[in-house]
Amino acid sequence: MGSKNMLKAFSTVVLLLVSLSCLGLAFGTEPAFAEKPEATVQEINEPLEVTIILQRVYLDGEISEEKVQETIWSMEDFWAKYDKWQLVDMEKKKAVFRQDVDDISPLLKANGYFGLSDEGVLTIFNGRPEGSNIIQSFFQIDLGRLESIKRDQLKKGIPIRNKHCFEEVLETFKPYTLNENH
């Protein structure tokens, strides 16, 4: 289902829930108009409480999630607020939006290092390569072709401080990819 269709479906579900809630049907209670004959359609304007999950997908594959509670007063304002996001999932009182971020994750900026795994794979570690957690692996390096200076850099760990550094290291080591046809 396309993003626009999901947005339209979500709007319909939200409006239906608001309508049912005002009538008391959504939660199995007596309809509101049974107690108050003067109840009208204007009561649909009550706010709707929804949990919003905002997922940010970074170039390095990391996904961060932020959970927020939204009070929806106007569907038009709600969709305008999230127009730069893609709706990926929706339920009765929950919506998940995703956004691709053209940058590396805060985790990599703070503590990411390029290095070599025990198998000679170019890898990003959380901390320096010796004994740290692997975040992401890329490609096998032909260690026979790799210059000793570059091997030493990878052994110590190359800090990843920004997107430029991330891309530069990948490009620098791509020519040393192990070709399995040899």
Convert the pLDDT of each residue in 17-57 to its tens digit. 444 343 333 334 333 323 333 433 333 367 889 999 999 99
Q: How far is CA 150 from CA 12, 109, 133, 154, 173, in A?
A: 57, 21, 21, 6, 9
The answer, yes or no, to whether residue 107 has pLDDT greater than 90, is no
Calculate what percentage of the chain has a pLDDT beyond 70. Answer: 73
Beta strands in 73-107 (DSSP E): 86-91, 94-100
pLDDT (tens digit, 9 = 90+) per residue, 68-83? 999 988 888 989 999 9
Q: Which domains does the chain have, with CATH numbers?
A: 3-100 (3.10.20.420), 106-176 (3.30.70.1740)
Q: How crowded is residue 135: how many other Cβ atoms within 10 Å of its Cβ?
A: 20
pLDDT at 30: 36
167 HSE (CA, 13 A, CB side): 8
C-alpha angle 121-126-128 in degrees, rounded to nearest 5: 75
Task: Tell which wins on pLDDT, 125 or 17.
Answer: 125
* Strand, coil or helix: 7: helix
Higher local confidence (pLDDT), 112 or 32: 112
Give the per-residue pLDDT at 45.
61
